[in-house]
Amino acid sequence: MFKKVGRIAGSVTSYAGAVKQARGDAPTVTAWCSWCGAHCLHTLVTERIIGRSDYVCDNCGGPTVKCRYCDNMARGAGAFNGDGDQAPDYSSSDEPTKSKVANYFKERWTNELCSEHDGTVPDFSKATLRIADLSEFADLMKPRQKNYSGAAKKATFVAGKTLAVTLGGGPFAIAAAAGSGLGGRAGYGIANNYLKDIPDYNFVKVQEGLSASRHSVIVINGLLSKKNPQTVREEEWFDLTHDWVSGLRGTYDDDDIWHLNWDAKSLANFGSWAGASTGAGILAASSGLSNLVLSVSGNPWYSAMLKAQKTGAILAEALSRTEGTTFTLMGHSLGARVIFFALMALSTKDERYVRDVVLMGGAVGRDKVKSWEKAGAAVTGTLYNCYSANDDTLRHLYQMANAWLSKPAGLGAAMPPAFNIDCTDFISGHTVWKANLPQLLERISGLGKA
């Protein structure tokens, strides 16, 4: 066993040596690199008449070969010849620690397809582009090539010096791009990966601002009162956001209002449980679900919570590609969870995109000091946490899904720097927040922080 590994290690060493010798007057090609995502020179290492010739990327030192279907360079087999820290291996949250066996084969596998053709990167040339407004995000993420890999790949795009953070903990941990990686090549690959789980992710403008303000509001739902929609049709968007738009009238008239559409199916499922308006109804619904819920993975609540986090990572990616606009983010229920995870990712950047945040009935933990400090650091204005002690949905469903280990922010005061607003006197349950939006905004402005 050791001998075998030694022999392969030996061949890697001689490969590196060959690259050194080959450099200088060796032929080169200019092409996109599936390791680092750069458009750069690749130097010929081994020329082959039958089969594809071996190259090395001049930017990252990764071994490359031509894609079977285009002129992009696919990942070749062998070791990196660069300075060693150019392209660290990074995989998605679905497989936070890859086995040594998987790594072994990955390093020795010559790929047939470039990262555009295997679906890991939508379009190399767009990976670092900015967007003028949120409506351009869908175009940015549109694949340039047909995906030939059959099954959707789960491995996230490897970019040079990938900067990533793990957000959340335990079974709810996800990875997000961080710092300059967010809004760059690393974030592009991660967002692309998460979008496969949330195909209806979409920003829809539901109000055109009266003035050309450089400030926009994004509203995010956490449950839908709709029977089993697979997707939400375009003509339904205005109905589904009417409560937001009318609730915000008089407060945000100058600004564009965007609705972030995400995973309508999960939100409708959740909506049907939360629609059980009496405590007894919720208890009945939740006890029916308890076996599923307690098994954690594979239950609808778990998957909705995780998808909210992924949606948050994609939201952070979208916001960090905008320029010159500031945002107010408002989220209800799981929508507040989306925002919270977006803020944690955004806090790793130097730039600030978010002015104010309003979380209503938030399905996100309220006790972790470090997480709230992180989320608060991404906000230049105020992070409002609006809660009601009457929220039986959060009390039962949320806490059970978290095995009673996490207390939701929508049920009580969260850690600083959250500015907590107790709405117990006028919020009777989880589903009535948006209907009481004018009253909530009045209370916020009355407190002198808006």
Query: Which CB sits closer to Zn ion, 57 or 343?
Result: 57
Q: How far is the CB of 143 from Zn ion (least distance, A)?
A: 11
Q: How far apart are CA 333 and CA 327, in angstroms?
A: 19
Name the minimum Å distance from CB 207 to Zn ion.
41
* Contacts for 171 with CB less than 8 Å, ≥ 6 apart: 296, 297, 302
Chain centroid to CA 299: 20
Give 57 or 155: the residue with its C-beta nearer to Zn ion. Answer: 57
Q: How far is the CB of 42 from Zn ion (least distance, A)?
A: 8
Q: How far is the CB of 150 from Zn ion (least distance, A)?
A: 15
Q: Based on CB atoms, which residue is closest to Zn ion, 123 or 255?
A: 123
Length of the chain: 450
Tokens of 231: 């997707």
Smallest separation (angstroms) from Zn ion to the CB of 54 = 14
- Complex with Zn ion: residue 96 or 143, whichever CB lies closer: 143
Closer residue to Zn ion (CB): 117 or 337: 117
Pick 69 or 237: Cβ nearer Zn ion: 69
Which residues make up the interface to Zn ion (CB under 5 A)? 33, 35-36, 57, 59-60, 62, 67, 69-70, 72, 114, 117
Least distance from Zn ion to the Cβ atom of residue 225, Å: 44
Q: Which is nearer to Zn ion, 36 or 411 (CB)?
A: 36
Q: Is the CB of residue 419 less than 8 Å from the CB of residue 372?
A: no
**Contact of 201 with 262, CB cutoff 8 Å:** yes
Q: Minimum Å distance from CB 103 to Zn ion?
A: 19
